[in-house]
Amino acid sequence: MSGPDRRLVVVNPARPADQEFEIVVAHYNEDLSWLKQYGSECCVYSKGGSKNTPELPFTFTPLPNIGREGHTFLHHIVNHYDKLADITLFVQGRIDDHVDITLTEIKKHALDTIPGQVTTFPFRELELFDHWNGIPWEEYPCWKRWSSMDMQNMKDTPLQLFQKYITENDRVPVAVGFAPGAIFAVRKETIHSHDKAYYQRLLEKFFLGDMAHVNPETGHYMERFWLAMLNPVEYIQWSADDLADAERNEHGQLAKGKWYRTPTGSAIDLGAMRRGEEIDSPLTPLTPFARSSVSPSTPETALSLMTDEEGAEKK
């Protein structure tokens, strides 16, 4: 079948040339060489201790090894709320198991981000979350590496947390869309749609106190809540009728209510790939990251990229 590459849509070609850009990196022990060309624009938070210190040219801020990437990102927002860059790209120390375009391409599209937009990147499609009573880990063998580890469980359900801390109302959504891996770019105006106290409450409830743990259940919830928090109109489906007509939104993402659902019983968590036979138009392969000579376009390749190290590091 023929058609345009719709993985990413440039929506702001006339972007200002003087925008401040920053890459916030949640690091444990990953090789950050793929970020070197933009090292001066990186704000690295490292949770790996002295033996896993990032090599030059990176300066970094050490953090306790708690809370996964959600803790890192909220820590940055709370502590830099009044001095955020115009556009912030939030990434983990390794992203080539979720994204298969170059960092230069990622930055290019991140800089096109407009207020209200949350920019995500191929190859993973946006996925659907509707496990409001709790993630049934046992039904998803592909997520076993998380549930089989020591996990600090949260007594509140995802719905209770979502209502009290994300939307701050008692409505019950059908589902939300999320970006696996929590890799996204957003403008400071969008972050500022909530006040600093909002993010401070999230940080304290999800990642401090009883949840100050290397693998808190709330870290997995936060990964699923970012987009809904930053743009509820686009990423929260409130009813069966609250469904987009088009398959994709103006930014090339799966549109509201059209998000990919991971099938129960899945042995490999690939998500839906924005490439080849997986959607209704073929996509031109793009250059993968320098640290990997292949992109995770097959189950076998994706599985090989899901290392024990990834499962052990909790950003």
Report pLDDT digits (tens) over 132-170. Answer: 999 999 999 988 777 778 999 999 999 999 999 999 999
Q: Which of 11-25, 50-64, 134-148, 204-218 has the weakest average pLDDT?
A: 11-25
What token pair was written down for 29? 């022990």
Pick the more confident residue, 167 or 284. 167
Give me the pLDDT at residue 268, please. Answer: 80
- The pLDDT value recorded for residue 16 is 66
Confidence label for 12 from pLDDT (cuts 50, 70 and 90): low
| Range name among 8-17, 64-73, 184-193, 245-254 with the lowest pLDDT average | 8-17
pLDDT tens figures, 76-108: 999 999 999 999 999 999 999 889 899 999 999
